Amino acid sequence: MLNRFFGLFSKDIGIDLGTANTLVYVRGRGIVINEPSVVAINQKTGQILAIGTAAKRMVGRTPGHIVATRPLVAGVVSDFEITETMLRYFISRVHEGGFSLLPRPRVVIGIPSGVTEVERRAVEDASRNAGAREVYLVEEPMAAAIGARLPVQDAAGNMIVDIGGGTTEVAVISLGGIVTSRSLRIAGDKMSEDIISFARDECKLLLGERTAEEVKIAVGSAMELEKPEEAPMRGRDLITGLPKEVTVTDAHIRRAIQHSVAAVVNAIKTTVEETPPELVADIMDRGIVLAGGGSLLRKLAELVQLETQIPTRVAEDPLTTVVRGTGLILEDIDSLKPLLVPTPYEMGLKIS
């Protein structure tokens, strides 16, 4: 009863709780928050020092007792308490300047399609403890397909590939359900790690996470570019221990990330192989849609099209596809409820 009363003064929100970034959609307003999923903690006192953008600026630049950490690994909650704190912070940010002293919003939140029951409960519990009065879970590929405006409720095949920071979700959707899917824990973060390994092994250079990501964005590609590009890579020389700068080309970075890119492409091909023939015919007609930050890797859509022989395109504004999907569900939750994942609470399971 109290929750319902507080709900009158709360704003319903959709959350893309990503490994790399968290995006928040407010019903009637659109996307209001897009910040890194990073929390900075003082380990001496246990105090939360910063969340989001401010915390990401601290990565690799803090004294020993301050740690900038990601509470989600490969799309799932790895630190329950910090995830809860981060969600509470974003929910309170949404309600700043309003009349609600104790916000109790309805929340639609995206989860990877391959999560276990325990991982699903962790997301729901963290959301409820952070102040949500009702929690609806939607699988990320379904949310991405809705956000990309694919006709997911039609009796026809739609193929979506959501390449995020921690996971790659490949799914074929028809009649409001996922027919076949793959959840791969190889995505943007793994490609950055590949670049760090390449710098260490080939250049004898110790590279930071942020630098590796910047190099990937600057010159990364899945296939050979028309015009070769290069970028500086700055870090610490492993032999002398002194600062060192190495210039790398797109060919170097392509070689560094080739195994991760191949794993993503193979997951797409395997999913196509497992899809019923009638739906494959639909997908050949409608094409494969790429979403998520990883889809911005240059020439990736061309490589997928070459390997699968199916037309492939990148969704409009791929970084926000999942959160836009949660927002569209919020706007019409009654008719889109069948597309959601049943939560442990709805199934009458006791949460320990």
194/181 same-domain check: no
30/99 same-domain check: yes
Please state the pTM of the whole predicted model.
0.85
Residue 323 and residue 17 in contact, taking contact as beta carbons nearer than 8 Å: no
83/223 same-domain check: no
pLDDT of 4 strictly over 60: no
pLDDT at 97: 58
Residue 198 maps to which CATH number? 3.90.640.10
221/272 same-domain check: no
1 band by pLDDT with thresholds 50, 70 and 90: very low
Count up the domains in the chain and report the number: 3
Cα distances from 166 to residues 38, 151, 320, in angstroms, run: 14, 27, 16
352 band by pLDDT with thresholds 50, 70 and 90: very low
The reply to whether 67 falls in a domain is: no
314/199 same-domain check: no
Residues 248-291: pLDDT tens digits?
999 999 999 999 999 999 999 999 999 999 999 999 999 999 99
97/212 same-domain check: no
The reply to whether 60 falls in a domain is: no
The reply to whether 106 falls in a domain is: yes
pLDDT at 90: 84
Return the closest-CA partner of residue 206 out of 164, 243, 155, 156.
243
Residue 84 maps to which CATH number? 3.30.420.40
201/331 same-domain check: no
Residue 119 and residue 92 in contact, taking contact as beta carbons nearer than 8 Å: no
Provide mean pLDDT across the span 187-207.
Answer: 93
Domain boundary among 218, 237, 257: 257
Alpha-carbon span 287 to 50, nearest angstrom: 42
Residues 130-163: pLDDT tens digits?
888 888 999 999 999 999 999 998 888 999 999 9
Please work out, in degrees rounded to the nearest 5, the angle formed at the alpha carbon of residue 35 by the alpha carbons of 10 and 298. Answer: 130
122/268 same-domain check: no
The reply to whether 43 falls in a domain is: no
Which stretch of 99-103, 181-185, 284-288 has the lowest confidence by average pLDDT? 99-103
Residues 6+ apart with CB under 8 A from 182: 114, 168, 169, 170, 171, 267, 268, 270, 271
The reply to whether 245 falls in a domain is: yes
The reply to whether 51 falls in a domain is: no
Residues of the chain with pLDDT > 70: what percent?
Answer: 92
Residues 6+ apart with CB under 8 A from 290: 161, 163, 300, 301, 304, 312, 313, 314, 315, 318
List the domain range (segments joined by +) for residue 228. Answer: 188-257
Cα distances from 253 to residues 44, 162, 213, 245, 302, in angstroms, run: 39, 22, 11, 15, 18
195/80 same-domain check: no
Alpha-carbon span 310 to 289, nearest angstrom: 10
Residues 6+ apart with CB under 8 A from 67: 40, 41, 43
pLDDT at 231: 93
348 band by pLDDT with thresholds 50, 70 and 90: low
279/171 same-domain check: yes
The reply to whether 224 falls in a domain is: yes
Residues 26-70: pLDDT tens digits?
988 888 888 888 888 888 887 888 888 888 888 777 777 888 888
Residues 71-91: pLDDT tens digits?
888 777 788 888 888 888 888
202/250 same-domain check: yes
Return the closest-CA partner of residue 301 out of 310, 141, 323, 214.
310
- The mean pLDDT value of the chain amounts to 86
Backbone angles phi, psi at 313, to 5 degrees: -140, 160
Residues of the chain with pLDDT > 90: what percent?
Answer: 47
298/331 same-domain check: no
The reply to whether 6 falls in a domain is: yes
Beta strand 177-184 with 168-174 is: antiparallel
Return the closest-CA partner of residue 140 out of 339, 282, 306.
339
